[in-house]
Amino acid sequence: MTAHRIFDWTPQAVVFDCDGTLVDSERHWQQARDIVLRENGVAPDPEFAERSKGLHYTECGALMARLAGTPDADEEMTQQLLARFRALVAQDPVAVRGAQALVRTLSRRAPLAVASNCPADVVEFCLKAVGMRHHFRHVVVPEPGVLPKPRPDAYVEAARRLGVDCGNALAVEDSVNGLKAAVNAGLRVIGVGREPSREAVALADLWVDSLDDPQLVAWAESRPPITARREDADHPRSASAHPMVPRQANRAQSGTRATP
C-alpha cells in the first residue's frame, strides 16, 4: 500500500509520458504497426501488440522486420511505421480523458516536462494538436546520451532540466516500459489505464483508470500553487503532519489502485 507516497506528498516537478498518457495516440501506433505488418505479409496478433507497446519506434521497426523475415529491412520498416503514424495522428488527434484538466491544474503547482520514446517532432505535433504544448517547459526524447525507455535516461534528463532531484519528481505513465524507466530513475509514479497488468500495477505507487479519477483530481487541486510554495521556502513552517515515506525496498508489492 503506497498510495500515501502520492497523496501525502507534493512533487517539485511532474514528468508525463505522451503516447497513451496525454494523447490517445497509442491506438494510432497500433494501427500503424498493423498496417505496416500487413503490407509486409504478416498478420499481427495480440502477443505482438503487447510486446510492441511502449517500445522505442526504432526497436519496434526492428521487431517488425524480424517478424516479416527481413531483419535487414529494419530502417525501412521504421520509416514506414513513422509515416503511417504521422498520417493517422494528423487525421484524428485526441487527448486522453482527463489529461487536459490535470495538466492545467498541475502546471500551476509545479514545472512540467514530457519524457517520450517518440521523435521530438511527433511529440511536439501531438501536444500542439490537443492544446497542451504550452504547459510543458521541456520535451525529452531519445538522443545521443539519452537512451530510450525502459532505460531511465529520459526521466533523469527531464528532472535535470527542471532543476529537481529525481526523488522529488512525479512521473505519470501508462506502459510497463515507461514505468520501469521512471522507477529506475527514482521518481514516484502514477500509472494510468484500464485493465493494467499485474506487473504494471506493482511498479506504480498509485494506479488510476483515468486522469479524471476523483481522488487524483482532488489531490492535484489541493497542492499549493508555485507562488505559495516559494513563500513557504522563505518562511518555513513546522514539520508536516505527513512526513515523507522512504521508497520501499520491495517494489513488486507496492502498487496500489485508487478506489472510487
Please say whether the beta carbons of 15 and 169 come within 8 A: yes
β-sheet with 138-140: strand ranges across: 138-140, 112-115, 13-16, 169-173, 188-192, 206-208
C-alpha dihedral (64, 66, 69, 75), degrees to nearest 10: 70
Give the β-pairing of 206-208 and 138-140.
Answer: unpaired
* Residue 34 among the catalytic residues: no
Q: How is residue 121 annotated by DSSP?
A: H
User: Which residue matches cell numbers 486522453?
Assistant: 96
Tally DSSP H helices, then E strands, for the chain.
12, 6
Spatial distance between the Cα atoms of 169 and 10, rounded to a whole number of angstroms: 9
* Angle of CA points 213, 122, 152, to nearest 5°: 65
Residues 17, 24, 174, 205: which is the catalytic one?
Answer: 17
Residues 103, 91, 135: CA angle, nearest 5 degrees: 20
DSSP 231: H
**Which residues pair with residue 23 across a beta bridge?**
19, 95
Active centre residues (catalytic): 17
